[in-house]
Structure 1
Amino acid sequence: MSPTNHNKQTNIALHEPMFNDCQPAEALARYVGDEYIQHNPHVRDGQLGFLTYFLRMQAEYPGKHVHIVRAVAEADLVVLHCHQTWPGGHDYAGIDIFRFDAIGKIVEHWDVLQVVPEMAQNENTMF
């Protein structure tokens, strides 16, 4: 398997323990590099910032689920288009961009989220 495809499969695998199984420490240990640069303004840099954020999400939103709709990989970057379901709240369409290091660990993350509206001007859906 090429490094690009390996990174894509690693990124997809990250989401089960991180979001859906509420085991962010396991996800961190398996998939995230020692250096972790975060661009989401609600999450601190580093492994501790990652862990703290996802433990809080686990406590505040039990049952939160992320479904990966599509994944695109190029060189050391993987982009995921995700459908996020937040219990008691809105559903979100999300784009996550991850950068990988030379040994296949996630070392940088960017994301954007958009609420899935109840009504749209077209019938195409966000997914």
Structure 2
Amino acid sequence: MIELFDSNDGRAVRNKTNILGFYDLVINQKKSEASVARFISPAYVQHNPLIADGPDALGRFFGQITRERARARVVVHKIIAVGDYVWAHVNFLNLFNDDPNDTGIAGVDIYKMDADGKAIEHWDTLQLVGDPRNAAPWLAPNVPRANANGMF
């Protein structure tokens, strides 16, 4: 994992650590409803249209996924923290299936953090990872990769 942050900026260090903790505890350890309030502000604003505002809605969303998908997990590849913002380049695996060969969804999550180090606002962009023969499954099915660079 690549981590970019100013180690002298206590706020950035705390915020990066909290987002990594959020991914691990809420998604990878599957403790969504029990743990989400530790990382998410009560005033949380969500810009992903699939999830309502507030920590309870986020906990329910990931709680349902992790109960239904034994293999659901997230891998953080890059994380950047500056002041009140954290950007994470991640691979969400098995969010919508339990296929052991799932290549997942590449995501860039952007979090605005509050003074207590909790996420108060969130934006994301998501793209299916695909495979060498099917690079963009929803956008252009069965189109082979144009390069071998990978998404991460």
Aligned residue pairs total 127
**1:67-106 mapped onto 2 (5 Å cutoff):** 67-86=75-94, 87-88=98-99, 89-106=102-119
- Please, what TM-score do these two structures have when normalized by structure 1? 0.92
Distance in 1, Cα, partners of 2:114 & 2:77: 24
Distance in 1, Cα, partners of 2:35 & 2:88: 17
Match of 1:54 in 2: 62
Are 2:137 and 1:112 aligned? no
Runs of 4+ in structure 1 deviating by more than 6 angstroms, as ranges, are none
Which structure: larger Rg? Answer: 2
Answer yes or no: is the 8 Å Cα contact 2:93–2:103 preserved in 1.
yes
Are 2:62 and 1:37 aligned? no
Answer yes or no: is the 8 Å Cα contact 2:103–2:131 preserved in 1.
no
Q: Deviations over 1:70-105 (max 9, x none)?
A: 101122110000112112255111111111001111
Structure 2 gaps, min length 5: 1-7, 133-144
> As a proportion of its length, which structure holds more helix?
1
How far has the Cα of 1:62 moved from its partner?
2.0
Q: SS of the residue aligned with 1:72?
A: strand
Are 2:150 and 1:125 aligned? yes
The structure, 1 or 2, with the larger RCO (C-alpha pairs under 8 Å, 6+ apart) is 1
- Answer with 22-31 or 35-44: which moved more: 22-31
Answer yes or no: is the 8 Å Cα contact 2:105–2:128 preserved in 1.
yes
Distance in 2, Cα, partners of 1:13 & 1:59: 19
Distance in 2, Cα, partners of 1:45 & 1:34: 9
Task: Give the letter for the 2:107 counterpart.
Answer: G
Answer yes or no: is the 8 Å Cα contact 1:17–1:26 preserved in 2.
no
Q: Deviations over 1:18-63 (max 9, x none)?
A: 1111101233132111211111110011122112211111223222
- Please, what TM-score do these two structures have when normalized by structure 2? 0.78
Structure 1 gaps, min length 5: none
